[in-house]
Structure 1
Amino acid sequence: MIMEHRIVRYGDLQPCKTAFIDAHTPGSDQKENFTIIGGGVSESPDQHVHIGLPHGFNIGAAGQPPKCRNSLHDHHTAEAFFVLKGRWRFFWGRYGDAGEVVLEEGDIFNIPTGIFRGFENIGTDYGMIMAILGGDDAGGGVMWAPQVIEDAADHGLVLGDDGKLYDTKRQQKLPKGVAPMPVMTDDDLAKRPEPTTAQVLPNHVARYWDMMALADRMPVQVIGERGLLKDKPGFEVSFITRGSATEARKSNPYPTVLMPMRGHWKVRWDAARGLDAGEATLAPGDTMSVPEHTPHSVVPSMTGEASLYHVVATGDPAGHTWTG
């Protein structure tokens, strides 16, 4: 795969409007889901995968108009979001009322596993959030709150225990040997923690302008053992600004993903692993995967505000993040 094929431009993203079980449920039926890197967790064969190469994590995105929400769900591995566009409310708990936080553009939320979470666009325009999911298989799918599965069935969508969606409005039926996905038992639900907002925010949310100040001279590790949000989810997330960017070439033993938040960024790479040396310019919303062991640099190419998220796998198993 040549380097051009490892860059996904924001304007080239291909949405899927039938990715998940709540695709027909009023209030959630206008959302668009994107799988940028990795297989993702979509339950629909309609989902387009832009870069299918394993990275040790998945990169996806959700685009939603105002007042559209993503229903309560959970993953077996880590899930972190940063807001690219708009203003978003995240909420969690069995019924979504245990706690909540509002994120502005650039803020990042390393959502604890083991709790149901959902989110909605509370801004005034189409919004976009970028997602990082731990593991190459993204934890084996999505676990939905029981009421989400029940509401979806009332609007024609049934999730089979094979992880696939079946639309009864289109006369689709569960194949022989496939049963409806069972809802979680009361005993399983009772074991799930219900952390409050005060318990979650200090260790799981980092604000954009705080990171801009901290990364004025050196990149800041946001998620990782030494991060602002200390965790070992199977990947590390760093934050780079104009003041902390450098022309010095660096490489990693795992693929590196670059995701500009603000400004335009020039990426240069040396010849390595069958690739010719080259350069490319990234804009906000673009996603680039630099191959492992490829020396590269990334610096702002224009004046003005500039910030970028840097994601790389660590080789650790993508474990739980909620320990409270």
Structure 2
Amino acid sequence: MIPAEMETRIVRYGDLKPCKTAFIDAHTPGSDQKENFTIIGGGVSESPDQHVHINLPHGFNIGAAGQPPKCRNSLHSHRTAEVFFVLKGRWRFFWGRWGTAGEVILEEGDIINIPTGIFRGFENIGTDYGMIMAILGGDDAGGGVIWAPQVIGDAKDHGLILGANGKLYDSKKGESLPEGIGPMPLLTEEELKAYPELSPMQVVGFGVRRYYDMVAMAQKTPCLVIGEKGIIRDKPGFEVGFLTRDSSSADMHQHDRPSVLMPMKGHWKLKWDGGEATLNPGDTASVPAGLMHTAVPAMTGEASLFHIVATGDPAGATWSGT
């Protein structure tokens, strides 16, 4: 593959195109300053304004959320896995019907695999603009977002209505639901019983791993963070690996599915059969299936990188906490 072709599969952090109207809480005070990024795959945005950087099937989606301090993402759920790692800032993740079942604070490099089927939200509690990178299971990411009922009610009070077709309509712009399309039905009290109120021990013990613990585990060989044999034992339809300077190798290898490289710290040299490119923290590189490649640190200093590849497992509900 010539460098020009490979460059089309590399999304640079500085080239990310945000959408500020991606979800139903885009006008709700406290959530109205967030930016959503869809990097690989169709994502779960409810807005036609969402830009998709790489619209190729990988078996999973890659996205990101950027938020200023004190900005939060409202309570929602997914039918497939949702994994985050903190690229920049300090973040509070919370969960439960009202967001009060538990919470955990994540620092830069920390990762969380949120159990499928619980309401979850997150907030930037740092002092500067923060960014979290997201991996969603499946090519269609489970068909969209399931919102806690109060989120839909709050959004309507501020001019946004979510149609049963999964699209947003903004009354502030004179928009209304099209003929024959009703509003998205609210979950009933009986349906809400299917969304467990997991304890902090269940969520944190299962799905949170700290950056420097992963660094220690990846001293000699890459660390499998999420996978059937990972330090987070789960089968969400993809595996997440982690490597550092000490566990990187110049040996070329290939995968039978597309893989994704996401640097966390330092500068990395991605080399493939036909060229090379430098990756920086926040960049996302999609490597085609069957392409011989490797990644090694390009400079001295701390260097770490997340690696994602799809597996043959179905991208449905995984660990439920029960």
TM bucket (normalised to shorter chain) is: over 0.9
Aligned match of 1:119: 122
- Contact kept, 8 Å, 2:110 with 2:210, in 1: the verdict is yes
Give the aligned partner of residue 323 of structure 1: 321
Q: Matches of residues 97-246 of structure 1 in structure 2 within 5 Å?
A: 97-246=100-249
Gaps of 5+ in 2: none
Cα separation, 2, equivalents of 1:168 and 1:322 = 37
Aligned to 2:87, the other structure's residue is in SS state: strand
Equivalent residues in 2 for 1:294-305 (5 A)?
294-305=291-302
Mapping 1:12-91, distance limit 5 Å: 12-91=15-94
Q: 1:251 deviation in Å?
A: 0.6
CA contact (8 A) 1:232 1:319 kept: no
- 1:9 Cα deviation after fit: 0.2
Percent of aligned pairs with the same amino acid: 72
Residue identity in the other structure for 1:24: H
TM-score, with normalisation over the residues of structure 2?
A: 0.98
Q: Deviations over 1:141-198 (max 9, x none)?
A: 0000000000000000000000000001111011111100001010010222111101
TM-score by length of 1: 0.97
Shift of 1:319: 2.4
**Distance apart, 1:27 and its partner CA:** 0.0
Q: Distance in 2 between matches of 1:97 and 1:111?
A: 15
Pair 1:284 & 2:287 matched: no
Letter in 2 for 1:19: A
- In structure 1, C-alpha distance between the alignment counterparts of 2:223 and 2:194, rounded to whole Å: 35
CA contact (8 A) 2:91 2:124 kept: yes
CA distance in 2, matches of 1:109, 1:319: 18
TM superposition shift of 1:201:
1.1
When the two structures are aligned, how many residues end up with a matched partner?
318
Give the whole-Å Cα distance in 2 for the aligned partners of 1:199 and 1:40: 27
- Any runs of at least 4 consecutive aligned residues in structure 1 with deviations exceeding 4 A, and if so which? none
> Displacement of 1:323 after TM fit?
3.4
The reply on whether 1:251 has 2:254 as its aligned counterpart is yes
